[in-house]
Chains A and B, each alone.
Chain A
Amino acid sequence: MVGRKTMELWVGLFVAAGILALAMLAFKVGNLTTVDVVDGYRVTARFDNVGGLKVKAAVTMAGVRIGRVTGISFDDKTYQAQVTMDIDGRYKNIPKDSSANILTSGLLGDQYIGIEPGGEETYLKDGDTIIRTQSALVLEQLIGQVLFNKSTESQPPAK
């Protein structure tokens, strides 16, 4: 049996190392530093098609993450998807007529919302709706369109 002092020292070292490991996991491995939206405000946008957009997807402006998607629901009156997102409270000066586009990171990556600034002097605030939206690019529709164009092109013009 070891002496009491050494034992306490070891236990102290063990607990400190454990907490250090947890801190390393949180800050170095995880993204604790960037994940949270600080006292954000909520805006909504309606899209004709959200494609593969998921809750928690990033909301970006100029490629920088400024918020995240908090909810996606279907509105059966307009047949549109209603997307709510939280935007970080640090970014208050987003013009009201900004447009929200659903973009894809890389060819097969996750979908996210990119906001293009408009020119108005009034700014988005809590509960506002972004009017100008652009739906997700659905690859299958795109391919269908290309094929359709090809097939109409190759036919001899009707007289």
Chain B
Amino acid sequence: MNTLRVLGGIVINSVERLGRASLFLYEVLLGSWGLIRRFTLVVQQVYAVGVLTLLIILVSGLFVGMVLGLQGYNTLVKFGSANSLGLLVALSLVRELGPVVTALLFAGRAGSALTAEIGLMKATEQIAGMEMMAVNPIQRIVAPRFLGGVIAMPLLAALFSAIGVLGGHLVGVGLLGVDAGAFWSQMQNGVDFRDDIMNGVIKSVVFGVVCTGIAVFEGYDAVPTSEGVASATNRTVVYSSLAVLGLDFILTALTLGEV
């Protein structure tokens, strides 16, 4: 009997949180509309969320591309098709690894920082103070962060993929001696703009909305104590990563149209 009650409690709690999150997201979207006139707020957040994440994105993009080059070469050379290395590297980066790894890194680097920042604002009653001064905290605090994340994510993913391709080129052509012409021409023949690149861009936009959405909601919804902020930050990273990986499968299945 008691277990049933606990189960019911869990379900009610999660549905309630989901409802709060939807309402919150709706308010954030409304708040974003008014931000067009005060774009400096968003620029600040693009700096905090995007530019400061740049280093980790570029370094991991480069190394992921280089590893793909090495691994792919060793597999392809067995089938005598090492010339397709460029295609392999570009397709895996543009379609999958670019958006997904960027989103995971983003959740760890920027999402957790967003949650902690907003959660601490709540814990130190800055948000309550704003409400007291008739400033809408969602519009002033949350919406710029949300928009900044949504703007930054596709750009970060594109940079990740681009530098990954360069990394693959570095290893494949520079180190392993794949022909540079074949590397690029096979890539250009095999990668379709609409099917592959736009697919990746759409994925990264969706991941941007989901990751920053989760981050700002967890921060805003955090229990205003140091423990509450800590567990909210934790939840941000876990939920964002799970959501990204799950959504990735759904989006891939939808765009490939084979399921």
Contacts and interface: CB of A to CB of B under 8 A. Distances in A.
Interface of A: 2, 7-8, 10-11, 13-15, 17-22, 24-26, 28-32, 35
Interface in B17-58: 43-44, 46-47, 50-51, 54
A14 B58 CA distance: 12
A10 B188 CA distance: 32
Q: What's the dominant secondary structure at chain B's contact region?
A: helix
B155 A19 contact: yes
A8 B50 CA distance: 12
A18 B155 contact: yes
B162 A21 contact: yes
B191 interface: yes
B184 interface: yes
Given A22-B201, A29-B94, A31-B188, A10 B47 contact: yes
Contacts of B232: none
B162 A24 contact: yes
A18 B154 contact: yes
B90 interface: yes
23 contacts: A7-B43, A7-B47, A11-B47, A14-B50, A14-B51, A14-B152, A18-B156, A18-B158, A18-B159, A19-B155, A21-B158, A21-B159, A22-B162, A25-B94, A25-B162, A28-B184, A28-B188, A29-B187, A29-B197, A30-B193, A30-B196, A30-B197, A35-B193
Given A30-B192, A31-B192, A11 B156 contact: no
A32 B193 contact: yes
